[in-house]
Amino acid sequence: MTEAYFGLRGVVEGFYGTFYTFPERQDLIRFLGDQGFNLYLYGPKNDRQHRMRWWDPYPPFVLDRFEDTIALASERGIDFCYAISFGVPINYESSEEFATVTEKLRGFFDRGCRSFGILFDDLTVGFAHEENCRVFPNVASAHADVANRVLDWARRLDPDCTLFVCPAEYHGRPPFSPYVGELGRTLDEAVHVFYTGPEIRSRAIRAQDVTAFAEVLGRPPVIWDNYPVNDLQMKSHVHLGPLRGRAAALHAVSRGFASNLMLQAEASKIALHTVAEYLHDPLSYDPDAAWRRALATVAGAESAEPLRQFAESSLQSCLEAEEAPEMTWRTMAALQALRRDESVSSEPVQELAKYYTGLDEACYHLKHRMRNLALRQNLLPWIEALEGKLWLGRYALMALQTVESGGDLETRMKGMESALADLEGEGKSVGGAATLQLAELARERAALFGHRGASLRREPKTAARGLLSAGDDPLARRLHQEMQQPDGASGVAEAS
């Protein structure tokens, strides 16, 4: 892969939450090497020795695992960067605390690491130690001072060592605060500085955004892209869509580009594959075409289409406003038809039922047929949440059919309410909210129906016009069988 565009092509393991196991990280590094990446920055917020107990040394057996990882990264053409973060504030003036920092970094240097990072993001604002106020005129000068001393220490060991810094203010538009300018003026020119774009999680990053930051900072930054990361308030989402909204000219105004990873290592590969295509040739990058190739590469050719169907129900992120565009518009079309008093056998409702069947089959394939078991494990909570939403929609449609045609409405409503209760405990965001509107319509009409067993419509509906024909739909056959059970029988059976 050519290096004509972005010199630094990296990822950041920098999220809050459970960080990767060494096997997960090493597998990801192999993938990244194949995709032409050349930087892996290690800085997960929940690693206690990285952040909240930064002064504590790692146990020797953990350092041995890091040594194996650093060696593997080097074999794959990737520079492994170990970063430290002062979650408990450091005394910038203290020579003893600086020695603790360099002693920790020396353990990684001795194991082959030549890139280091200091992450000042999301830390306590201001100084925590009174003597720092007397020594440094501002926080920026203290950050620059410790970074410059770390770089000098590392380069005395090996002149090829590099240093990355995430500043305390790492996003925004002009006017930037004095912190950014002061940091740039006092920081060694060789230090790479991160910038996430106009927002922490930027929908779009334009060349002029980066240029404006670079002018104040006094150097081109490295773009830290907070996609596909899904930590904190985003942890109910899994981000499976392609990279979008990154200007083709970013390579000309930055030193490089690094993507912050998801909590799910294997699922991160889908977005990363598209990032790799963007980094390889940003001028002709096509997000949708890159996404199709990513799905086939990560899931396998036989699972690419089921994965696409599922992933299109899990698109909401900083890049995409809508979670499940197709499921939403199909559901809204059916709702509009029903609210116009059209039959449940009308085309929009029938098409929604067919869509449910196809999406259920895709979920079944991903659970039981996909060869990539690590991906299956990453996605399983969302797959099962989507299956639950499909059950909710199907029961709602069956209840609406019963309102029209007569029959055992009680069983259908029990199934719908059970599916709704299951969804409320899932905690995973997938499939959008339109299905809930369909369930609410079923509730409204069931209340009018009064569970009397008589249809609101006068004309009979033949079996051939039924919405969920047992002969056409395997999931409907299960539902029809279940409806023959006594009232106390279980509501929703597992789809097969």
Question: pLDDT digit string (tens) for 378-418?
Answer: 999 999 999 999 999 999 999 999 999 988 899 999 999 99
Q: Count Cβ atoms below 10 Å from residue 288 Cβ, excluding itself.
A: 10
Q: Does residue 350 share a domain with residue 255?
A: no
Tell the burial category of 418 from Cβ atoms under 10 Å away from its Cβ (0-12, 13-18, 19+). Answer: middle
**Which of 258, 283, 299 is the endpoint of a domain?**
299
Residue 2 has pLDDT above 90, yes or no: no
Number of domains within the chain: 2
d(CA 37, CA 14): 17
What average pLDDT score do residues 175-181 get?
96
Catalytic pick among 34, 47, 79, 122: 122
> What pTM did the predictor assign?
0.90
Lowest mean pLDDT among 8-17, 199-208, 211-220, 409-418: 409-418
Give the pair of three-digit tokens for residue 451.
């569970």
Residues 225 and 272 in one domain: yes
Task: Name the pLDDT band for 3 (thresholds 50, 70, 90).
Answer: low
- Shared domain for 79 and 154, answered yes or no, is yes
User: What pLDDT does residue 449 have?
Assistant: 78
> Do 278 and 330 have their domain in common?
no
Calculate Rg over the CA atoms of the chain.
Answer: 27
Predicted local confidence at residue 255, as pLDDT: 98
pLDDT at 14: 98
| Residue 146 burial (C-beta neighbours within 10 Å; 0-12, 13-18, 19+) | buried
Residues 213 and 337 in one domain: no
- Residue 377: predicted pLDDT: 98
Residue 115 CB contacts under 8 Å (≥ 6 apart), including other chains: 39, 41, 79, 80, 81, 82, 161, 162, 163, 164
* 317, part of any domain: no
Lookup result for tokens 């963007």: 278
Instruction: Give the end of a domain, one of 250, 282, 299.
Output: 299
CA dihedral 374, 317, 359, 328 (to 10 degrees): 170
pLDDT average, residue stretch 287-306: 98
d(CA 306, CA 104): 46
Under a CB-based contact definition with an 8 Å cutoff, are residues 490 and 391 in contact? Answer: no
Residues 136, 259 share a domain: yes
Q: Which of 121-135, 175-189, 318-332, 475-489 has the lowest mean pLDDT?
A: 475-489
Does residue 145 sit in the same domain as residue 263?
yes
| 122 labelled catalytic | yes
What is the percentage of the chain residues whose pLDDT exceeds 70?
Answer: 90
pLDDT tens digit sequence for 417-434? 999 999 887 789 999 999
Tokens representing 231?
A: 């930590």
Same domain, 295 and 329: no
Residues 74-97 pLDDT 10s: 999 999 999 999 999 999 999 999
Distance between CA atoms of residues 204 and 287, nearest Å: 14
* Other CB atoms within 10 A of residue 286 CB: 14
Asked if the structure places residue 307 within a domain, the reply is: no
Name the 3-class secondary structure at 237: coil
Q: Does the residue 82 lie in any domain?
A: yes
Tell me whether residue 490 is in a domain: no
Q: Given this model, what pLDDT does residue 123 score?
A: 86
CA distance 195 to 205: 10
Q: What CATH number corresponds to the domain at position 247?
A: 3.20.20.80
Q: What is the mean pLDDT of residues 340-357?
A: 97
Residue 378 lies in a domain: yes
**Is 241 a member of any domain?**
yes
Residues 242 and 112 occupy one common structural domain: yes
pLDDT, tens only, 436-491: 999 999 999 999 877 543 333 433 333 223 344 434 434 344 444 544 454 433 33
Which alpha helices (H) appear in 300-372, and where do they start and end? 304-311, 325-339, 347-368
Find residue 162's DSSP bridge partners. Answer: 115
Pair (193, 250) in one structural domain = yes
Question: Helix 373-405 vs helix 474-483: angle between axes, to the nearest 10 degrees?
Answer: 60
Residue-range definition of the domain harbouring residue 365: 325-483
Work out the mean pLDDT of the chain and round it to a whole number. 91
pLDDT band at 138 (very low <50, low <70, confident <90, very high): very high
Would you say residue 496 lies in a domain?
A: no
Q: Please determine, for residue 98, whether its predicted confidence score (pLDDT) is greater than 70.
A: yes
pLDDT at res. 193:
98
**CATH code: domain of residue 399:** 1.20.58.460
> Is residue 250 situated within a structural domain?
yes
Q: What is the pLDDT of residues 229-279, one digit of tens each?
A: 999 999 999 999 999 999 999 999 999 999 999 999 999 999 999 999 999
Strands (DSSP E) found in 43-98: 79-85
Instruction: Examine the domain organization and report whether 370 and 329 are in the same domain.
Output: yes
pLDDT value at 43 more than 80: yes
- Residues 268 and 367 grouped into a single domain: no
When pLDDT is averaged across residues 20-28 and rounded to a whole number, the result is 98
State the DSSP H helix or E strand holding residue 163, giving kind and residue range, or none if neither. Answer: strand 162-166
Cα four-point dihedral sign 367, 370, 376, 381: negative
Residue whose entry in the numeric block shows the structure tokens 């060694």:
188
